Amino acid sequence: MFNFFYNMEALAILSLLLLVSYIWFVMVQLLPRVGAVVVGIDPRINCYKLQYGTLCMREKPGCIFVATNSDLVGRAGCMVAATCGSTERGPLTHDAEKLAGVTTKTTLQDPSINVQPDYYTSKVSDLPDLLVP
Protein backbone atom coordinates (compact mmCIF):
# COMPACT_ATOMS: atom_id res chain seq x y z
CA MET A 1 0.00 0.00 0.00
CA PHE A 2 2.85 2.37 0.79
CA ASN A 3 4.39 1.72 -2.61
CA PHE A 4 1.13 2.72 -4.36
CA PHE A 5 1.02 6.13 -2.65
CA TYR A 6 4.69 6.69 -3.37
CA ASN A 7 4.09 6.08 -7.08
CA MET A 8 1.06 8.40 -7.09
CA GLU A 9 3.12 11.15 -5.47
CA ALA A 10 5.87 10.72 -8.06
CA LEU A 11 3.28 10.81 -10.84
CA ALA A 12 1.78 14.02 -9.44
CA ILE A 13 5.22 15.66 -9.26
CA LEU A 14 6.02 14.55 -12.81
CA SER A 15 2.68 15.93 -14.06
CA LEU A 16 3.35 19.25 -12.35
CA LEU A 17 6.82 19.48 -13.91
CA LEU A 18 5.38 18.75 -17.36
CA LEU A 19 2.74 21.44 -16.87
CA VAL A 20 5.31 24.02 -15.77
CA SER A 21 7.59 23.20 -18.72
CA TYR A 22 4.64 23.47 -21.13
CA ILE A 23 3.66 26.87 -19.71
CA TRP A 24 7.28 28.02 -20.00
CA PHE A 25 7.41 26.83 -23.62
CA VAL A 26 4.24 28.72 -24.53
CA MET A 27 5.15 31.92 -22.68
CA VAL A 28 8.83 32.10 -23.68
CA GLN A 29 9.02 30.35 -27.05
CA LEU A 30 5.68 30.72 -28.85
CA LEU A 31 4.12 33.89 -27.44
CA PRO A 32 6.84 36.36 -28.58
CA ARG A 33 6.34 35.28 -32.22
CA VAL A 34 2.58 35.95 -32.25
CA GLY A 35 1.62 39.39 -33.58
CA ALA A 36 -2.06 38.84 -34.36
CA VAL A 37 -4.93 36.50 -33.63
CA VAL A 38 -7.21 35.90 -36.61
CA VAL A 39 -10.63 34.38 -35.96
CA GLY A 40 -12.70 32.97 -38.82
CA ILE A 41 -14.71 29.91 -39.73
CA ASP A 42 -13.10 26.86 -38.12
CA PRO A 43 -15.00 23.56 -38.15
CA ARG A 44 -12.45 22.12 -35.71
CA ILE A 45 -12.70 24.84 -33.06
CA ASN A 46 -11.80 23.70 -29.56
CA CYS A 47 -11.07 25.10 -26.12
CA TYR A 48 -7.30 25.03 -26.69
CA LYS A 49 -7.53 27.38 -29.68
CA LEU A 50 -9.78 29.80 -27.79
CA GLN A 51 -7.51 29.71 -24.74
CA TYR A 52 -4.35 30.22 -26.78
CA GLY A 53 -5.84 33.16 -28.67
CA THR A 54 -7.02 34.69 -25.39
CA LEU A 55 -3.59 34.17 -23.82
CA CYS A 56 -1.83 35.85 -26.75
CA MET A 57 -4.12 38.88 -26.65
CA ARG A 58 -3.97 39.28 -22.88
CA GLU A 59 -0.23 38.78 -22.45
CA LYS A 60 0.95 40.73 -25.52
CA PRO A 61 -0.26 44.34 -25.46
CA GLY A 62 0.43 44.88 -29.17
CA CYS A 63 -1.32 41.71 -30.35
CA ILE A 64 -3.97 42.53 -32.97
CA PHE A 65 -7.38 40.84 -32.94
CA VAL A 66 -8.76 40.36 -36.47
CA ALA A 67 -12.10 38.78 -37.37
CA THR A 68 -12.85 37.65 -40.91
CA ASN A 69 -16.56 38.28 -40.44
CA SER A 70 -18.49 39.12 -37.31
CA ASP A 71 -22.09 38.51 -38.32
CA LEU A 72 -23.99 36.41 -35.80
CA VAL A 73 -25.96 34.59 -38.50
CA GLY A 74 -22.85 33.18 -40.17
CA ARG A 75 -20.71 30.41 -38.79
CA ALA A 76 -17.78 32.57 -37.72
CA GLY A 77 -19.87 34.97 -35.64
CA CYS A 78 -20.14 32.63 -32.65
CA MET A 79 -16.36 32.07 -32.64
CA VAL A 80 -15.72 35.81 -32.79
CA ALA A 81 -18.24 36.37 -29.98
CA ALA A 82 -16.54 33.73 -27.80
CA THR A 83 -13.14 35.35 -28.34
CA CYS A 84 -14.57 38.83 -27.67
CA GLY A 85 -16.10 37.58 -24.43
CA SER A 86 -12.91 35.96 -23.16
CA THR A 87 -10.61 38.85 -24.10
CA GLU A 88 -13.00 41.75 -23.48
CA ARG A 89 -11.74 43.29 -26.75
CA GLY A 90 -13.42 44.05 -30.03
CA PRO A 91 -11.92 42.82 -33.30
CA LEU A 92 -10.86 44.59 -36.44
CA THR A 93 -13.28 43.18 -38.98
CA HIS A 94 -13.12 42.65 -42.69
CA ASP A 95 -16.72 41.97 -43.62
CA ALA A 96 -17.14 41.55 -47.36
CA GLU A 97 -20.86 42.25 -47.17
CA LYS A 98 -20.59 45.25 -44.88
CA LEU A 99 -21.85 48.56 -46.19
CA ALA A 100 -19.06 51.02 -46.94
CA GLY A 101 -21.02 54.11 -45.92
CA VAL A 102 -21.99 57.21 -47.82
CA THR A 103 -20.61 57.80 -51.31
CA THR A 104 -20.65 61.32 -52.69
CA LYS A 105 -21.94 62.23 -56.14
CA THR A 106 -18.49 63.42 -57.26
CA THR A 107 -17.01 60.05 -56.30
CA LEU A 108 -19.62 58.26 -58.39
CA GLN A 109 -18.91 60.47 -61.40
CA ASP A 110 -15.15 59.95 -61.23
CA PRO A 111 -14.12 57.88 -64.32
CA SER A 112 -11.07 56.38 -62.59
CA ILE A 113 -13.25 54.44 -60.11
CA ASN A 114 -14.23 51.03 -61.45
CA VAL A 115 -16.65 50.04 -58.69
CA GLN A 116 -20.12 51.52 -58.97
CA PRO A 117 -23.09 51.03 -56.63
CA ASP A 118 -26.24 49.21 -57.75
CA TYR A 119 -28.46 52.08 -56.60
CA TYR A 120 -27.97 55.76 -55.91
CA THR A 121 -30.42 58.04 -54.15
CA SER A 122 -30.32 61.34 -52.34
CA LYS A 123 -32.98 60.40 -49.76
CA VAL A 124 -33.91 57.29 -47.82
CA SER A 125 -37.57 57.46 -48.81
CA ASP A 126 -36.59 56.40 -52.37
CA LEU A 127 -35.34 53.00 -51.20
CA PRO A 128 -38.68 51.10 -51.41
CA ASP A 129 -39.12 52.23 -55.01
CA LEU A 130 -35.58 51.22 -55.93
CA LEU A 131 -35.56 47.83 -54.24
CA VAL A 132 -39.02 46.58 -55.26
CA PRO A 133 -39.15 45.60 -58.96
Q: What is the mean pLDDT of residues 90-97?
A: 67
pLDDT in tens, 36-63: 888 888 888 888 888 888 888 888 878 8
**38 against 26, higher pLDDT:** 38
Q: What distances in angstroms separate CA 21 from CA 8, 29, 54, 56, 89, one per listed residue?
A: 20, 11, 20, 18, 29
Residue-level pLDDT at 11: 74
Does 97 have pLDDT greater than 60?
no
93's CB contacts (< 8 A; 6+ apart) are 66, 67, 68, 69, 70
Fold of the 34-131 domain: Rossmann fold (3.40.50)
